[in-house]
Amino acid sequence: MAPGDRRSRVRFEVFGSFWGTFDSSGAVELHDLTPHGALIEANQPLAIESVQSVCLIWDGQPAVADARVRHVRHSETDKSRFLMGIEFVSTSTAFLEAVDRLIAFRSASA
**What stretches in the chain show pLDDT beneath 70?**
1-7, 10-25, 110
Side-chain-side CA neighbours of residue 41 (13 Å): 12
Asked whether residue 15 is domain-assigned, the answer is no
**DSSP letter string, 36-84:** TEEEEEESSPPPTT-EEEEEEEETTEEEEEEEEEEEEEE-SS-TTSEEE
Listed as own residue / partner, the contacts of 75-80 with beta carbons closer than 8 Å and 24 or more positions apart are 75/41, 80/43
pLDDT tens-place string over residues 71-99: 999 999 999 999 999 999 999 999 999 99
Its domain, for residue 49, covers: 29-109
- The residues pairing with 71 across neighbouring beta strands, listed in sequence order, are 85
Give the domain CATH number at 92: 2.40.10.220
pLDDT of residue 12: 65
Asked whether residue 90 is domain-assigned, the answer is yes
pTM comes to 0.74
pLDDT of residue 5: 64
Asked whether residue 67 is domain-assigned, the answer is yes
Count of structural domains within the chain: 1
Asked whether residue 9 is domain-assigned, the answer is no
pLDDT of residue 17: 61
